[in-house]
Structure 1
């Protein structure tokens, strides 16, 4: 029999308790890792979606409230070192952006003075600028090619001399695709990294029933046309 002191006994018991807690934590981590690895795909997909949604929600708050909410440590910035945002729309738009002016004036009846009945005169104005946006527009272009005939030749010989307007080359023969439409789709897919099914959904919200299969065919035909032209 080995005799130990009370202090050594309590120290060994504390170490034993700590080892048990560590062992329990490791077992929980192992079980969680197995669940993530061998769990059903729907659970892994749901977990990934929740992570993405949390990132999307936090992104808006971080931009709205600044880095003080994104980091716990506050960063001191000198007052003269930071440029104050003016909040003017002219500071963010490129030079040459078209401006639509909408004037709001009182009618003739509304400009009658309540005191003397005279017509009030315009003495000033206030201008409020706002940024306007609209989704991508789509429309139909009809290319009409006319055919011409020489009536004099027809009167003299009985056969008319015909001449047709030459047709412009098409990017995707046999389809209604235009170079502008294909360029927009390819920009959204390869530059903005938007898959075709999302473009299909976006077009459907605008009332355009353009399937992803059609867009994929346009991209392939356009690539073949450019490859044949050496582009």
Structure 2
């Protein structure tokens, strides 16, 4: 702020100019103070959030530790017990990692039963990876001499073959100034762990694609001569789930930037530690419209089927939502989201009726709906404008005739019968079922997302239940990336191996480069 001149020597214009300048400087200082207050308030809020979250995680991990290392009489036995222990061990490792990310420390030291790391079998092939300093010339100008090396061994796995990756870091010393130089170890997803990104990717793919529980993987590894305890495998799964979560969050944002979204849900059983009963939870699936360029799917694990879960996932998104007739979506449509019905669900009502009773009315409805699907097959490779034009010319007249036919037969059919229920399903949702006719971006049904949720329905026959809420959310996250890699024609193992290798040093502001639809394998 400039010094104030002698006011007695200033005329009126100069005084007005000085006053204006002083007012401007005061306003500038006020703005700076307001910005400072906002920064301080945000920092205080962030600190309070971190402290609250740390307390919550600390309480959660204490409960899990009491279950995991408590009385054996309180735990489940047999195969169910093994599955639950895997989930609990993975949850503990995930919470430990989240505490570290928040700047806190794990609430307790690891239990004494934590298995000690065993030396890797000497008969496994060794692959040497050498790390040397960029320069062996000391800052004093002298040439350094190699005085030794450190060897760190990591267990690698290429499908079907174990090997040991030896990282050899030479030690270089300058005798003149007694300076020691050594290249650092490459950053790893799990610090000081023995697993390479290839082995971690294999464990994740085996668990979440091939649906092999960790105790079975432990047995398979043992037959190959490598003993990796289940608790260690669970720790790897838990940490990887935390590290991969930012990619899933970015994938969700990418899907919600699309104007058309599919949605569906399927039940899964979940078991809470300390309880020997399962209850029904749900895995929701969301994907861009089948005609959109983006190929992705995100699964969302929730403890129930309330429509509030769908609203929470969609947030402020407004667009065309393709879904079935589940009432939980209704509140979304009241908030500005457009409902697009699924013709496959309407067809299924008539198909079941025809299969059970050979209904002639159901047969006629199936023929008309089949004509609509024939037109869709012709338009599969067209652009949205061409598809809409074809529908206007050929599909719309068929739909109008079908609607009039349904109305006429509904009057003749007694209420409460199977054919009445099938007709009512279509008639009550006719606007949603035929919305696709006016927009070439919309599909005729919701089969695309049902295909993406089918692996979950098949897999749960193997894994029976999720071991905890956290285990369910972790499974949803990893399966989102695996299934998205599949529908982009990537090998899930190759994708996860590369992503896990790059994550530790990849900038957060470029995380979208690692998403399945944008991923390019690294040059290495």
TM range (shorter): 0.3 to 0.5
Normalised to the residue count of structure 2, the TM-score between the two structures is 0.17
The structure richer in strand per residue is 2
| Greater RCO (CA < 8 Å, at least 6 residues apart) | 2
The structure richer in helix per residue is 2
Larger radius of gyration: 1
